[in-house]
Structure 1
Amino acid sequence: MKNEPITDWNAFLAPYGQAVEELKVKLKGIRKQYRENNNHAPIEFITGRVKTKESVLEKAEIREISLDRLEEDIQDIAGIRIMCQFVEDIHEVVKLLHARKDFEIVIERDYVTNKKESGYRSYHMVVEYPVQRGMDVKKVLCEIQIRTLAMNFWATIEHSLNYKYRGEYPEELHARLIRAAEAASLLDKEMSEIREEVKEAQVYFADKKKN
């Protein structure tokens, strides 16, 4: 590892924070358009975050990334998470993102169709997003994760446990996580079976709120 070349971490992370905020506004705009047209919005809600200096350095150390290669080799310094009600919504959001012209998709990983061995399911995109900084434009990488609420519940729990066990789970706990992932997947399948009824009920409820 090289000596740390970054002296001003606030300045280094600022473009990533701007990218996250701008993408959140744009994605919320998509959701708003669907709802204003009384259509089911494939986006339920959006969250975003920027890794801290400590988190960036920890990942660089674990993956043996040179500190002068952080911008290129750590793809999730900026992160957006898009939550969906149904698995079908994930694929709709992917299409919407492919149609956009304000960023370039550089990597896609479909862990919905091809789940990880651990049971993890989500759709990942890494996009190169141009941020206007004064008179200059800086392109930063941002990871977008698209998942259902059930997928997110499982992944959030697994992420917390992974910090404790560093991926080396006791055998019984690992088996329980696999079963929990299967249960989350079954929930998504059941919800997909009744999604038309759910969507109709949501439209009805939205109309009642307006009156």
Structure 2
Amino acid sequence: MEHWDHFLAPYKQAVEELKVKLRGMRGEFELNTTHSPIEFVTGRVKPIASILDKANQKGIPLDKLETEMQDIAGLRMMCQFVDDIKRVVELLRTRNDFEIVEERNYISHKKASGYRSYHVVIRYPVQTISGEKKILVEIQIRTLAMNFWATIEHSLNYKYKGQFPKDIQIRLQRASEAAFRLDEEMSLIRGEIQEAQAFFTLKKETQQEGKGSK
């Protein structure tokens, strides 16, 4: 266990640092009172059992985990609209505090299961007492609808170990299409939604200011 603690420490550090940085991007949009393409950011380090399971499935030797397993450290950036995903990817490409090593577009090219998301794999430099250590981190960018589907599919995948009954598989694919149609419909009324959200935010801030002056 001590070995794993030592191995995972820089990954945990990377996740915490990147959560602060990526949430800071959202904060900048809010300061400029413009629509933020980032709804919220979450992050995690893959549990040891999951690392071992994946290494076994993919045939990755334990001494090659650092170079061959890209998602030991993972972050998710949630967006309201599909077009926001493109904006977020563009923002990540302009940063100079990490290097993008791979991009995978599962939105234009969804997986057979129905999975949709945009993956950006980065090489992130962590500063440790032993010096700089560059580690791989996977950033998944998706809409809230895509995330709902992916979360359910992930849970079912654990239950059935990837071998879904035919009826479950069909329903998951239907649900994926329904989630995508939801994203499309929301995109069509994007202007109305953003205007309503801006009005609600302004009203809320005005009420808070009113309370503060009493």
**TM-score band w.r.t. shorter chain:** over 0.9
What displacement does 1:135 show?
5.1
Distance 1:60 1:116 in 2: 21
SS where residue 69 of structure 1 aligns? Answer: helix
Distance 1:174 1:9 in 2: 36
Q: Which moved more, 1:131-140 or 1:100-109?
A: 131-140
Distance 1:137 1:74 in 2: 20
Alignment match of 1:50 (pick from 26, 29, 45): 45
What displacement does 1:58 show?
1.5
Query: What is aligned with 2:8?
Result: 13
Distance 1:57 1:167 in 2: 16
Query: What is aligned with 1:84?
Result: 79
What displacement does 1:173 show?
1.0
SS where residue 167 of structure 1 aligns? Answer: coil
Query: What is aligned with 1:3?
Result: none
1:152 aligns with 2:147: yes
SS where residue 90 of structure 2 aligns? Answer: helix
Query: What is aligned with 2:194?
Result: 199
Query: What is aligned with 2:69?
Result: 74
Aligned positions of 1:88-103 closer than 5 A: 88-103=83-98
How does the TM-score come out when normalised to structure 1? Answer: 0.95
Distance 1:68 1:94 in 2: 31
Amino acid at match of 2:197: Q
Distance 1:92 1:44 in 2: 13
Amino acid at match of 1:130: P
Distance 2:162 2:36 in 1: 35
What displacement does 1:166 show?
2.0
CA RMSD of aligned residues (A): 1.1
Structure 1 ranges of 4+ moved more than 4 A: none
Query: What is aligned with 1:172?
Result: 167
Q: Which moved more, 1:32-41 or 1:48-57?
A: 48-57
Q: Deviations over 1:85-123 (max 9, x none)?
A: 000110000000000000001011000111111111000
What displacement does 1:61 show?
1.2
Task: Give % identity.
Answer: 62
Query: What is aligned with 1:105?
Result: 100
1:122 aligns with 2:112: no
Distance 1:194 1:101 in 2: 35
Bigger relative contact order (CA 8 A; separation at least 6):
1
Bigger helix fraction: 2
SS where residue 76 of structure 1 aligns? Answer: coil
What displacement does 1:160 show?
0.7
Q: Structure 1: state its 5+ residue gaps.
A: 1-5
Distance 2:95 2:70 in 1: 20
Aligned residues: 206
Distance 2:34 2:182 in 1: 23
Q: Deviations over 1:109-161 (max 9, x none)?
A: 00011111111100001100000002500000000000000000000000111
Distance 1:117 1:58 in 2: 22
1:189 aligns with 2:193: no
What displacement does 1:202 show?
1.1
Query: What is aligned with 2:55?
Result: 60
